């Protein structure tokens, strides 16, 4: 708060009649898609005008060739006002290439221009190949349909491709062609199975172990390879009475739950969990999801092994009376999708940021590729180097808004990453601070608000030498004199009357 002995003056430079349109909160349905995929873009259009105005928005996209000009894809008009901000949506289809960058612009005239553009980056990656392993195929149907919906598979737009193999023979073909493997309600994996899975994960693969009623706990903690792989030790399955739900709070800051965090979803409360496995987490594991019971029982645990990752889900997904997850709609599909992408290491860093955020980019696997060029939005190229042992690159203090590219300095390399930085939405909020907040921060009656330099000079002068009071002083003297004269005349008349009344009786005598 302000020091009482110091005069504090705040100059209000805001306009009394603000006119500004702004684009905020650009959300992409997905920033990483397979070749031929589509992305839906949605953003909020705000205006400071009290009367509805028509705003034109244009969508631009770079062609497949890096560094090419932006090409207009679509233009729309929407009505906005201060009382009713609008939401605009665009759809990009059949995207090809590796990195596509673009922007959405306000086409109408606007005095404040920095908030008239929202830029974006889309990364186009090969489909994730996943292997699902179960004793019987029907146990895996819900899981496979969540990962690779049939309609998207038929259209070639699914970001994940699933193969199924029976547990008894899943090692009959090489596992290296897959990015991740799901072990689903497998009763009794052999020691050889665990050894093969351990080797797969240590080399960078991902493994999901989903439990169920058929699981034999001894087969999951007796083999040495299983103990070195799993994030928890199985004790036995149990029943929730009453049923519980999935609590996402422990892992909302984790990349796996990013889509839930963005939508401020902390609990999957439309899917009852009735049965689960009691699991003791190991010291080198972490709990990402737990149940809503009083004991905070772990539901999803994670462990890093070598270059890969392992997830352990302690309830089933095969509609055997354990829970209602398979029929919970978007929640189940999103959870399965995010688990698969995380295991395939497709969630290392975001690619669309706000100003002030740190940028995290994955680096190529080749250790000799650690010299790069960072191409800024304005066209400058800056050399960037990383230590040989480093697998990610952290960029801070980036000084330009717009779309960036990171390319390898080696001519023969095809490595390239892209990302975008948009302005921080709060910078476009032109709403003046209310008096209550100023009083909280500075103290009541401890400041003065002025709107111009002239008013500031006048206010400061008044505070230092005071207001000239001579005319008021003389007026006060005159009033006092008149009042005194009136009172004296009143008392003088009373004295004369009393004196006269005393003389008359004497004369009569």
> Could you tell me if 332 and 141 are in contact, meaning their C-beta atoms sit under 8 angstroms apart?
no
More confident residue, 366 or 403: 403
* Largest Cα span, the chain: 153
When pLDDT is cut at 50, 70 and 90, the band that residue 461 belongs to is low
Range among 98-112, 183-197, 333-347, 426-440 rated most confident: 183-197
> Could you tell me if 180 and 341 are in contact, meaning their C-beta atoms sit under 8 angstroms apart?
no
SS3 content of the chain, % helix, strand, coil (to 5): 25, 35, 35
Average of pLDDT values for 259-277?
Answer: 91
Domain 21-125+382-428 has CATH 2.60.40.10: yes
pLDDT for the residue numbered 226? 94
Residue 475 has pLDDT above 50, yes or no: yes
pLDDT tens track for 32-62: 999 988 999 999 998 877 777 888 999 999 9
pLDDT for the residue numbered 508? 47
Average of pLDDT values for 269-273?
Answer: 92
pLDDT for the residue numbered 6? 67
Mean pLDDT of the chain: 86
pLDDT for the residue numbered 114? 86
Residue 207, judged by CB atoms within 10 A of its CB (0-12, 13-18, 19+), counts as buried
**Hey, is 197 helix, strand or coil?**
helix
Domain 128-343 has CATH 3.40.50.880: yes
Residue with tokens 């352990």: 312
Low-confidence winner among 201-205, 369-373, 382-386 (lowest mean pLDDT): 369-373
Find the distance separating the first CA and the last CA of the chain, reported in whole Å: 86
> Could you tell me if 276 and 322 are in contact, meaning their C-beta atoms sit under 8 angstroms apart?
yes
Range among 153-167, 233-247, 443-457 rated most confident: 233-247
Low-confidence winner among 73-82, 403-412, 429-438 (lowest mean pLDDT): 429-438
pTM: 0.75
What residues are paired with 267 via a beta bridge? 247
pLDDT for the residue numbered 294? 94
Average of pLDDT values for 377-395?
Answer: 90
Residue 182 has pLDDT above 50, yes or no: yes
Average of pLDDT values for 157-183?
Answer: 94
pLDDT tens track for 273-331: 999 999 999 989 999 999 999 999 999 999 999 999 999 999 999 877 899 999 888 89
């Amino acid at each position: 708060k302000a020091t009482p002995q110091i005069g504090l003056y705040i100059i209000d430079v805001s306009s009394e009649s603000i006119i500004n349109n702004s684009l905020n909160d650009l959300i992409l349905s997905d920033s990483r898609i397979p070749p031929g995929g589509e992305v839906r873009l949605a953003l909020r259009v705000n205006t400071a005008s009290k009367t509805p105005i028509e705003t034109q928005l244009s969508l631009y996209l770079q062609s497949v060739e890096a560094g090419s000009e932006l090409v207009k894809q679509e233009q729309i008009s929407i009505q906005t006002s201060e009382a009713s901000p609008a939401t605009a949506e665009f759809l990009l289809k059949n995207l090809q290439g590796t990195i596509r960058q673009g922007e959405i612009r306000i086409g109408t005239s606007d005095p404040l221009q920095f908030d008239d553009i929202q830029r974006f980056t889309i990364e186009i990656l090969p489909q994730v190949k996943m292997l699902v392993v179960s004793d019987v195929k029907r146990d895996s149907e819900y899981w496979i349909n969540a990962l690779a919906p049939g309609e998207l598979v038929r259209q070639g737009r699914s970001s994940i491709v699933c193969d199924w193999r029976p547990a008894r023979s899943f090692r009959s073909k090489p596992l290296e062609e897959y990015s991740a493997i799901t072990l689903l309600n497998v009763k009794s994996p052999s020691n050889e199975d665990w050894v093969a899975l351990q080797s797969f994960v240590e080399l960078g693969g991902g493994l999901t172990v989903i439990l169920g009623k058929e699981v034999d706990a001894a087969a999951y903690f007796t083999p040495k390879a299983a103990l070195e792989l799993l994030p928890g030790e199985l004790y036995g399955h149990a029943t929730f009475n009453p049923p519980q739900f999935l609590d996402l709070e422990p892992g909302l800051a984790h990349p796996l739950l990013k889509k839930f965090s963005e939508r401020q979803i902390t609990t999957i409360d439309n899917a009852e969990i009735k049965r689960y496995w009691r699991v003791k987490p190991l010291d080198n594991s972490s709990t990402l999801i737990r149940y809503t019971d009083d004991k905070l029982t772990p539901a999803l645990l994670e462990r890093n092994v070598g270059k890969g990752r392992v997830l352990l889900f302690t309830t089933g997904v095969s509609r055997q009376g354990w829970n209602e997850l398979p029929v919970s709609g978007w929640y189940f599909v999103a959870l399965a999708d995010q688990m698969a992408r995380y295991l395939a290491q497709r969630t290392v860093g975001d690619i669309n940021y706000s100003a002030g955020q740190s940028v995290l980019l994955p680096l190529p696997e080749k250790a000799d590729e650690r010299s790069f060029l960072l191409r800024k939005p304005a066209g400058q190229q800056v050399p960037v180097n990383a230590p040989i042992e480093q697998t990610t690159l952290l960029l801070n203090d980036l000084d330009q808004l717009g779309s960036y590219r990171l390319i390898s300095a080696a001519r023969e390399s095809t490595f390239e990453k892209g990302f975008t930085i948009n302005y921080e939405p709060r910078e476009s909020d032109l709403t003046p601070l209310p008096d209550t907040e100023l009083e909280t921060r500075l103290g009541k009656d401890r400041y003065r608000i002025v709107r111009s330099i002239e008013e500031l000079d006048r206010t400061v002068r008044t505070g230092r030498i005071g207001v000239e009071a001579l005319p008021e002083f003389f007026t006060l003297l005159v009033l006092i004199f008149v009042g005194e004269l009136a009172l004296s005349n009143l008392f003088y008349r009373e004295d004369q009357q009393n004196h006269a009344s005393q003389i008359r009786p004497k004369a009569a005598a």
